[in-house]
Amino acid sequence: MNISDSLMDPIAILGAASSLVVSLARASKSLSDIQKGLKQADVIIASMIAECNTISAALTRLQRLALRNPIVLSPNSMPPEDVRESFDSALTGCMLVLSSLETQLKRITENGEPETMRFTQKLEMLWREEDMNRLLEHLRGQHSAINTLVSLLQTVSETWAVGQHVSLRTDSISNLNLQLQRSTAYQNAEAITVEELWQRNEQLKDENGELQDTVFNLEQETEKKGHTISTLLANVAALQEQSNELKQQLQAVIEKSEQYAAYDKILRQTGTKIVQQIQQDRLEIEHLEGRLSNLRNSHGSLMLAHLMDFHKSRKELNIPRSPSV
């Protein structure tokens, strides 16, 4: 996003600052995760986290100043080229540095969980001290640039407020002179007394005081609305972040659901085959039981016939029974 293309529109500045605040929070979270698994780079990571938090605070201050007095960003309040150059270089530079930082952090933390042996080994292998030191220097430079931008906007805002106050007082004096010139008493100088001039001056002071109170109330109301807009923008950014996370979670759930559907299909097919096999085994068992029953019956009849023949033979031979019998 190029801020100069929007002619210093306060809404564009607030949108850019909000986007940067979200990116800084995401980078700070990734750095905290890395800090848990890479103790030897604790100082560098802590410094980078501090710089991210400081830049985020400076951008929040910038948002409040832009909302409190948005008219100072118009081309009539300051030379447009100076304002464009300052805002464009600071905010665009900050975006580029954060983009580079997020790319490095994504390369390091992708497909890894903090506080695990594999994650720690991957960090030690992918961590590049020189690159991170360079990014830390860039972050410090952007911190300085954003602070300069905040100071510039604050100075312009204060200058504009003083100019407005002087303009109001000048208008008040001009109105007083105009009314004195138009009054009948002014045309006849002898009819004007010191007491009448004093009363007229006090009346104009009261009117000026009421006007200043009205202006002050309007400024207070504008500041409150600015805070409300800033809060809403922050909430929108947070909701957008949550929406992205929910989309990712929903995509993961959809993928798991598809896997479970495939597993269910396989289980159904396997279950059908198993039921068919059980039915075949049951029929075979019933067939074998029938054959076994027939064998038992045939063997029983054969044994009974043998016993009868043996008994008949004993009778014919008159063989005495054994005493044990």
Task: Say what the pLDDT of residue 254 is.
Answer: 76
Residues 158/65, Cβ–Cβ less than 8 Å: no
Cα–Cα dist 65/154, whole Å: 7
Q: What is the mean pLDDT of the chain?
A: 71
Q: Which amino acid is at 13?
A: I
Task: Say what the pLDDT of residue 191 is.
Answer: 47
Task: Considering only residues 191 and 269, tell me which one the structure prediction assigns the higher pLDDT.
Answer: 269
Is the pLDDT reported for residue 49 higher than 80?
A: yes
Tokens of 43: 């100082």
Q: Which amino acid is at 88?
A: D
Task: Say what the pLDDT of residue 295 is.
Answer: 73
Taking the model in full, what pTM does it have? Answer: 0.46
Cα–Cα dist 176/199, whole Å: 13
- Produce one character per residue of 9-39: b if its CB has 16 or more CB atoms within 10 Å, e if not: ebebbbbbbbbbbbbbbbbbebbebbbebbe
pLDDT tens for each residue of 86-142? 777 788 888 888 888 888 878 777 655 545 545 555 555 556 777 778 888 888 888
Residues 1/16, Cβ–Cβ less than 8 Å: yes
Taking alpha carbons only, the member of 151, 182, 164 closest to residue 222 is 164
- Domains of the chain, by residue range, sit at 1-165
Give the ranges where the chain is alpha helix by DSSP (H): 10-37, 42-68, 80-109, 117-126, 129-182, 184-187, 194-317
pLDDT tens for each residue of 209-252? 666 677 677 677 777 776 776 666 666 666 667 666 767 776 77
Is the pLDDT reported for residue 2 higher than 50?
A: no
